[in-house]
Amino acid sequence: MTPQASVLVPPNISWPALFSKLLPLVLLLLLQARWGCCHPQCLDYKPPFGPQQPLVFCKEYTKFGCCDLSKDEEISSRFYTIMDNFDHSGFTTCGKYIRSILCQECSPYAAHLYDAEDANTPMRVLPGLCRDYCSDYWWECRYTLSLLLEDLGNPPQFANLTSAIEEDHKRFCDVLELKDKQYCYPNVLTNAELNANLGLVREDPKGCLELCLQEVANGLRNPVAMIHADDGSHRFFVAEQLGYVWVYLANGSRIDRPFLNLTQAVLTSPWAGDERGFLCIALHPRITTVRKAYVYYSVSVKKEERIRISEFTLSAHDDNQLDHSSERTILEVVEPASNHNGGQLLFGHDGYLYIFIGDGGRAGDPFGKFGNAQNKSALLGKVLRIDVDNNDDGAPYSIPSDNPFIGESGAWPEIYAFGVRNMWRCSIDRGDPATGAGRGRMFCGDVGQNKYEEIDLIVKGGNYGWRAKEGFSCYDRKLCQNSSLDDVLPIFAYPHKLGKSVTGGYVYRGCQMPNLNGLYIFGDFMSGRLMSLKEDVATGEWQYNEICMGRDQTCRFPKLINSYYRYIISFAEDEAGELYFLATRVASATARAGVIYKIVDPSRRAPPGKCSIKPLPVKIKGKLIHFYPKEALTTTWAPYSSQKPTVTPTQKQKTPASTTAPGARDDKPSPGKKLASAAEGNQVHKRPRGRGGHGSKKRRGGKRRPAGTVRLVSADGSSDRGRVEIFIRGEWGTVCDDLFTGKAGSVVCRQLGFTTALAVMKRAVLGAADRRVRILLDDVECDGGERSLLDCKRSRVGKHNCSHEEDVGVICA
């Protein structure tokens, strides 16, 4: 595919008359050199990749670049079409230049070579060359420029424009040169610094892994858990601490009816830091046939606080709702204090249900001689394993025959492991996609007391040391010196200078980001720090790296951001294995400040087509609420990178410096607001302005739509990209791409609630309108500060010399 984001000239212009007018525009489109720090990026605004099949023509990019085999074949075809104009001598002399220039679409730095990274500049028609290389090209093959431009879809008359450039060496290279000597071709191939770690996760000078995020849900009240059904639908289910569970479809929209509403039963409060509440949900691994779900929540029974594990059955009439009347209590455990409630449910690969319960609260596990965690006659401070299959006609669960303490006197047979303090967020490794290595491993984050947070691998019968030990260190020295302790040490522990409340994560096993395979990603609730561990298979040791948000242009891809809310409550994976984390700006069960972020590696993606999914259809009862990223975050958090927290000018309140969430430490809760109504749903974010029904003249309430209102029209309904349409004189119409730059694009994007335009797409790349739709604006030139396109320099409304093949589109960010 040729780069069509810019067009040099409209096809129906009178060439001789407008030659002098168009030549500066041609120079602008070819030149547009720009200084700055750049990153690997393709012309489709996505990271480069390793092709699944070796390239045949542009072989230098066969390991890593922006072309797959089909694109390589397309470039090869274009090359030989151009070279049909040459005799043998010309082919030998000029073929190397033509090939090299065409193959730069495959370069991992293609976006920079074509100046496609900056929305405020048009994309170059040809890649930027180094001055010396351009000089050699001019001396040997200067007259091939017109052939290259004709190949890119420009009319034959374009030769008249290029002839003046081809005759002048200085003008020729002024047009083709990329001023950035590091990134121009061919220097970009030989720059040792740029190519040393090309395709690997980018690191900052301190070794912090630079990743990016994509916001996928917002307006949530302390989102404590996100799970998937593993049924081919690629739905995910999000639980709020207040007691709601919501269903999100694969396209990001949410069903307006809750999957579960336990707000009347759940014990929690609006206090910032209250650890009680709805804490977890797990779907039966055979949900399509067994049709059961299990929940973990706090409850008050006769003024006694308890943990309740319950079973629900799916509604007979709606697979997106549980039958609220079907609740069956599986297990209840009395909680002596309001903190350390644990709160994890998992189905293992063995089909059994694992339950992770805290030590009962307070500080130092003060219950009994050795504390609850070391006492196998108590269920607190334990990992339990039970069998909930075939329980319809009998007891709510049975004990797996190989549970480790079945025969031990005084021990609960449900216990699978013990000596845990307050495990907050556990996960099971899917295993390496190719080899299966690591499959079934169970990772947990165990919140510490005064000094250390730890990550554990859970094994059958394991004693994880609490309260004798905290991390690798002794906490109760007398218990710690007991030779019979025989505890399982953490795989990693970190001191409280890094964070004070660990949030366990997942091992990445998805498809979209191959660099992250095998990386265990977790975080800390209190510090907002994202962290990672990577196992050295040879030694069994785990290497630690912090994760920070990408700096400079690292995250300048569509939909990506490089900041997040500080309080990291939970991690999750979707059905395809992609990773997410759930965070909030205000750690209160009633504050609509929770956001779900997808973790994205901007350095490398999977090859096109490898990770395609086709979600099974889902029958919906009720309405769908479409997702839009938050138009303005008040305070976001990007710790441990050079990025400052983003603060909007109108709201500059700071994020609380220390707040506790479910699974956190012993800080006392503080009074807060009253509980929200139990009937409330998630926050519904209004659609951006100008996205109403086609051709409507009035909005709700009879108010007339203002002239100059814009909208983006796309085939897939995307809110952040599409063909630009403007409302003038009672009708919607399109805008021609002549003179339309990133400044005009930013005017459009700001009207729609976005910050800026990431790219301007010309030649109807984002779709041409039906011929019945009028072209309303042409020759739009903006300074960037205008309120609408009508305030910009432009032709009269309805006057144009273009067709719908030149409808302009924008990508907003």
User: Quick one: average pLDDT of 292-306?
Assistant: 96
3-class DSSP assignment, residue 28? helix
Tell me which of 519 and 559 has the higher pLDDT.
519
The two beta strands, 292-301 and 423-428, are unpaired
Q: What CATH fold (topology level) applies to the domain 203-626?
A: Neuraminidase (2.120.10)
User: Quick one: average pLDDT of 350-367?
Assistant: 95
User: Quick one: average pLDDT of 2-16?
Assistant: 35
pLDDT at 273: 87
Instruction: Determine the straight-line distance between the first and last CA of the chain, rounded to whole angstroms.
Output: 25
pLDDT at 118: 62
Please tell me the least confidently modeled range out of 94-98, 483-487, 535-539: 483-487
User: Quick one: average pLDDT of 112-127?
Assistant: 78
Q: pLDDT confidence of 655, banded at 50, 70, 90?
A: very low
pLDDT at 121: 61
Tell whether the torsion through CA atoms of 80, 82, 87 and 91 is positive or negative: negative
pLDDT at 717: 78
Question: The pTM is what?
Answer: 0.76
Q: pLDDT confidence of 557, banded at 50, 70, 90?
A: confident
pLDDT at 23: 45
pLDDT at 151: 59
Q: pLDDT confidence of 672, banded at 50, 70, 90?
A: very low
What does the pLDDT look like over 759-786, one tens digit per residue? 888 888 888 998 889 999 999 999 888 9
Q: What percent of the chain has pLDDT over 90?
A: 69
Q: pLDDT confidence of 535, banded at 50, 70, 90?
A: very high
Distance CA 162, CA 144 (A): 10
Closest Cα partner for 655 from 548, 542, 566? 566
Name the helix (H) or strand (E) containing 95. Answer: helix 88-103
pLDDT at 163: 74
DSSP 8-class letter at 761 = E
The two beta strands, 278-283 and 254-255, are unpaired
Distance CA 368, CA 793 (A): 80
Name the helix (H) or strand (E) containing 261. Answer: strand 260-261
The two beta strands, 542-549 and 209-220, are parallel
525 pLDDT higher than 90:
yes
pLDDT at 651: 34
3-class DSSP assignment, residue 187? helix
260 pLDDT higher than 70:
yes
11 pLDDT higher than 50:
no
| Contacts for 471 with CB less than 8 Å, ≥ 6 apart | 448, 451, 452, 453, 454, 490, 493, 494
DSSP 8-class letter at 214 = E
Distance CA 112, CA 118 (A): 9
Q: pLDDT confidence of 115, banded at 50, 70, 90?
A: confident
Distance CA 183, CA 748 (A): 31
Tell me which of 632 and 304 has the higher pLDDT.
304
User: Quick one: average pLDDT of 400-411?
Assistant: 97
153 pLDDT higher than 70:
no
Q: pLDDT confidence of 38, banded at 50, 70, 90?
A: low
Half-sphere exposure of 735 (CA within 13 A, CB side): 36
Distance CA 549, CA 675 (A): 34
Half-sphere exposure of 573 (CA within 13 A, CB side): 23
Q: What percent of the chain has pLDDT over 70?
A: 84
Exposure letters 589-622 (e unless 16+ CB within 10 A, then b): bbbbbbbbbbbbbbbbbbbbeebeeeeeebebee
pLDDT at 550: 93
DSSP 8-class letter at 476 = S
Q: Are 361 and 332 in contact (CB under 8 A)?
A: no
User: Quick one: average pLDDT of 497-508?
Assistant: 97
User: Quick one: average pLDDT of 540-562?
Assistant: 91
The secondary structure of 619-667 as a DSSP string is ---S-EE-----S--SB-B-TTSSPPPPBBTTB-PPPPSS---TT--SP
3 pLDDT higher than 90:
no
User: Quick one: average pLDDT of 312-337?
Assistant: 97
Phi and psi at residue 306, in whole multiples of 5°?
A: -140, 160
Both tokens assigned to 675: 């509980």
Beta-sheet strands, E only, within 390-486? 415-418, 423-428, 442-446, 452-457, 469-470, 473-474
Q: Mean of the per-residue pLDDT values for the chain?
A: 86
Distance CA 425, CA 504 (A): 5
Phi and psi at residue 662, in whole multiples of 5°?
A: -50, 130
* Cis amide linkage into residue 425, ω under 30° from 0: no
The CATH number of the structural domain formed by 709-812 is 3.10.250.10
Please tell me the least confidently modeled range out of 116-125, 169-178, 536-545, 611-620: 116-125
Both tokens assigned to 458: 């859970």
Ranges of each domain in the chain: 44-190, 203-626, 709-812
Distance CA 445, CA 661 (A): 14
